[in-house]
Amino acid sequence: MKISVVSEDPRGSRVPKPTHDLRPSVDDENFPCLPRQPVLSYALVSKPWKDKASIFWRDAAVKQGRISGFLRFLELPLEIREQVFEDAMRAGGHLDRRVDVWEFQNCFTSVEWTAWLPAVCWASKKTRIEAAPVYIRNVHWVIRRIEANRYFTQFLETIPDDKGILAAQHMCFTSFHWFPGIEKCGKNSDIELMSRTTGLTRLLMTFHMEKLTKRAPEDSDQYYMPKSVQELVDFYGLQGITRARNVEHIHFDGIIGSNFEVNCSGSLKDRMRDLIEWIKEEFRRTLKKEIETELTWRSYMYGYTSYSMY
């Protein structure tokens, strides 16, 4: 059999150039024109930017006579919008937690747009007005300084129609016992805040044993003696606590001071229980209602001490 030798095709030695990274030519075939004019292309030269933005938003939301997007949400009843806000905040882990006002007030933000607000409140001013009360009533507010009291009051006042004031339901006054006294200050700012927030239902007040005592007479065997209930009521201005007429539960957070407990001529724990009974009786007398009370004792620890309000 005859064998013929064929020379190698010279084209086989060439390495084919990949085509996937080649830039297509700029022509109508590769870059066809849009099928219609863009919605936002008509002349807006003579209108200020605020009007331009409103037109952009309107054209994007209204298509062929049908309303879509955020406009549709604004048409829902307020109760449904509030439920949507609450579900969004709960999914983000913003609700049912303690917020220490003092930790946030030193952030470089205004009182109106304070740092503790969830992201949904920052969508717009209108959204903030509707969503902030939802957040306020689902958070336990810790007020532990006079500055925090003032800051929180200012924040509540930024929401129109007293919606912020009425929304607060859970407040913890962890420095209530440090009040210098009615005779010195004229009024108790913590009591004033309680009375303004008429939606308040659950309340925590901290008392250190030291604040329940006074110097015993020189002929006494002990250095301290318990203050009378009336002395405590007058010192803290507790007569005004019944102005928080919707309160249902008060937790008294007692702090044990072993030095005061040992060197006192009477039982400070019993005196605290007497004070609680006076407060309960005051609610019965003025409002004809019963309130639930709880008294717990803990050892003193410097700085923030965690506690359970419920």
Q: Would you say residue 306 has pLDDT above 50?
A: no
* DSSP state letter for 95: S
Q: Which residue has the higher pLDDT, 52 or 66?
A: 66
pLDDT category of residue 9 using cuts at 50, 70 and 90:
low
Strands 170-173 and 202-208, sheet pairing: parallel
Find the range with the poorest average confidence among 45-59, 107-121, 161-175, 266-280.
45-59
Q: At what angle do helices 268-287 and 229-236 cross, to 10 degrees?
A: 60
Quote the pLDDT of residue 49. 43
pLDDT at 96: 86
**The predicted structure's pLDDT at residue 7:** 59
Looking at residue 54, its pLDDT comes to 52
Please name which of 200, 193, 202, 124 lies closest in space to residue 152, comparing C-alpha atoms: 193
Parse the chain into domains and list their residue ranges: 77-299
More confident of the two residues 230 and 220:
230
The pLDDT, as a whole number, for residue 72 is: 73
Helix, strand or coil, per DSSP, at residue 91: helix
Q: Which residues contact 146 (CB under 8 A, 6 or more apart)?
A: 189
The pLDDT value recorded for residue 36 is 59
What is the pLDDT averaged over residues 205-232?
Answer: 94
Distances (CA, A) of 55 to 49, 60, 74, 116, 133: 10, 8, 17, 33, 31
Residue 268 is inside which H or E element, if any? helix 268-287
Beta strands in 22-89 (DSSP E): 62-63, 66-67
